[in-house]
Amino acid sequence: MPYISTHTNIEITKEKEETITKRLGKAIEIIPGKTEEWLMVSFEDNLSLYFKGKTNQPIAFVEVKIAGSSTQEHYQNLTAAITQIVKEELDITPENCYVRYEETKYWGWNGNNF
């Protein structure tokens, strides 16, 4: 039950969204028990974002939310994968990309909680 949301100050085409979504679907498997089958992805582009007081270069903030928890090693590996995807697909360097993780004990779907 993972969810990955990408926020950026640049435009993302539908083609890029689809490519990134597929790549994130593979990357999420770095976290044991997480698969593309349950992954939800969203994009917010053309945002008014500032990093280090500036907005003159491409920047991104990626949020990863999961049911349950994982290890620092898995999160480190996923951060490396996410920043690589963002660099290759959106030309946003890893030093201009934050990745935030949120673990939750409760996650609802289809009228029930897991």
Q: For 66-90, what is each residue's pLDDT tens digit?
A: 999 999 999 999 999 999 999 999 9
19-35 pLDDT, tens digit per residue, is 999 999 999 999 999 99
pTM above 0.75, yes or no: yes
Q: How far is CA 28 from CA 20, 104, 111, 113, in A?
A: 12, 16, 25, 21
CATH homologous superfamily of 3-113 equals Macrophage Migration Inhibitory Factor (3.30.429.10)
Q: How confident is the model at residue 114 (pLDDT cuts 50, 70, 90)?
A: confident
Query: Rounded distance, CA 39 to CA 57, Å?
Result: 29
So what's the pLDDT on residue 74? 98
Query: Rounded distance, CA 52 to CA 73, Å?
Result: 28
Q: Do the strands 108-109 and 112-113 form a parallel or antiparallel pair, or are they unpaired? A: antiparallel
Structure tokens at 64: 């990863």
So what's the pLDDT on residue 66? 97
Q: Do the strands 108-109 and 97-104 form a parallel or antiparallel pair, or are they unpaired? A: unpaired
